[in-house]
Amino acid sequence: MRNPSKRLCDCLRDWAFLALIVVFGGMAKGNAVSPFLFLFENTLKLSFYTAESGRYTLSLLPEGQAAWKTFVESEATHTHSFAWTDWKPDQEVAFRLTHLSESANGRFHTPRVALPVRALLYGDSRWGHAVHQSILSLAQTLEFDFFINLGDVVNTPDDRSEWAMFTESVRAVSGERPYQLVLGNHDWEIPEAEKTIPGYPVEGYYTFVLGKTRWIVLNTNERLSKSTDQGRFLLSELQKTKANREIPILITHHPIFSAGPHGEENVVKRLREFLLPYIREYRVPLVISGHDHAYQKIIVEDTLYLITAGGGAACYPQTYEPEGLVCYYPVHHCVLLSVEEQGIQGIAYDTEREVIDAFYFPHTALDPISPNH
């Protein structure tokens, strides 16, 4: 039998070139293109694919500045990833990607870092391309700082047409603001050779910081424990939130609590057992997940568990009645989220742009420090 990882690697390489022909085919001087923006820790990463392999130069010109900031690659490649560490928030930025006499250009906007920090959440699009497109169309009418896709962007990872469809679907929006991906069970094993695919975290887990918020993204396809690298990463990131007085937000593909048909599967039970002590100790006010295809809101102790998994795949009926369940809507949807200093606001929209839920959840993650502290 053919090695599945090798098969996926071959497929994604083919998919990359297919997407490149759409994005960069015959890159002519002055063409407008879109980067794929991605936040990693305090770094803003910009990724591009090109049909022609070469050493490319990226030049950036933030608004109000006279001099271009230039990044030069050290070797020829089809995939280009540039890390920008000294970016300033809430700026319009012009960019130019050049190779020999060819060039492409465009603009993007850096995210804000002041509270409230706003995100657009959805996940589990898989084969539901029409629904996915309707969500992206709705997103373009809303104001927010970045996307969070909760994973399962394809159904079959070795089907090049699915990856090409996803890439083409998000290309415009991922060039306007950061597009953060979570690794779902349908798309998580990206081979070493393909880890430059835009938005895919190299280790499968990562964090990004905007103002007083720290967003901790886990790869729940791999078992978590205190002795694993990911388990140690989680503890380290939570300790930073306490030391820096940040609002910790936990993001997973598999939920910790769910009223859907996956609510009592082993991976969910194991996550619950491992993560709940950390959530309690570090007073995590919000956990965002996908996987069980519905919109769910569950409140356990002082934490809001939000499941937004209606990005295109078929929705699931309610199966369980977990303690703290507030609502369960098996509809395609997205969520506009706003994290504020003392609370979290959310509005869930269906694909007809109707509001299916709106909430305000107060939290105590940033309680005033005692004078004797």
- At 113, list the tokens: 């870092």
Beta-ladder partners of 216: 207, 250
CATH number at residue 326: 3.60.21.10
Structural domain includes residue 215: yes
**Quick check: is 211 in a domain?**
yes
Residue 229: which domain range?
A: 117-362
The pLDDT, as a whole number, for residue 4 is 44
368 lies in a domain? Answer: no
Longest Cα–Cα distance in the chain: 66
With a CB cutoff of 8 Å and minimum separation 6, the contacts of 358 are: 345, 346, 347, 348
Q: Is residue 143 a contact partner of residue 337, using CB atoms and an 8 Å limit? A: no
In a domain, 326, yes or no: yes
Reported as type and span, the H/E element at residue 56 is none
Q: How many domains, the chain? A: 1
Residue 228: its pLDDT value, please?
95
Question: What is the predicted pLDDT for the residue at 53?
Answer: 85
Judge whether 7 lies within some domain. no
Distance, C-alpha 88 to centroid of its chain: 21
Quick one: pLDDT at residue 22? 39
In a domain, 147, yes or no: yes
2, part of any domain: no
What predicted TM-score, i.e. pTM, was given to this entire model?
Answer: 0.89
pLDDT in tens, the chain (373 residues): 434 444 444 444 444 444 443 344 445 566 767 788 999 999 999 988 777 789 999 999 999 999 999 999 988 888 788 999 999 999 999 999 999 888 889 999 999 899 999 999 999 999 899 999 999 999 999 999 999 999 999 888 767 677 778 878 898 898 889 999 999 998 876 555 455 566 666 678 999 999 899 999 999 999 899 999 999 999 999 999 999 999 999 999 999 999 999 999 999 999 999 999 999 999 999 999 999 999 999 999 999 999 999 999 999 999 999 999 999 999 999 999 999 989 999 999 999 999 999 999 999 877 654 333 3
Name the nearest CA neighbour of 122 among 362, 300, 327, 315.
315
- Residue 165 region, left (φ>0) first, then alpha (ψ -120 to 50), else beta? alpha
Return the pLDDT at 10: 47
| Alpha carbon distances (Å) from 266 to 122, 255, 323, 365 | 24, 11, 18, 30
Residue 49 falls within a domain, yes or no?
Answer: no
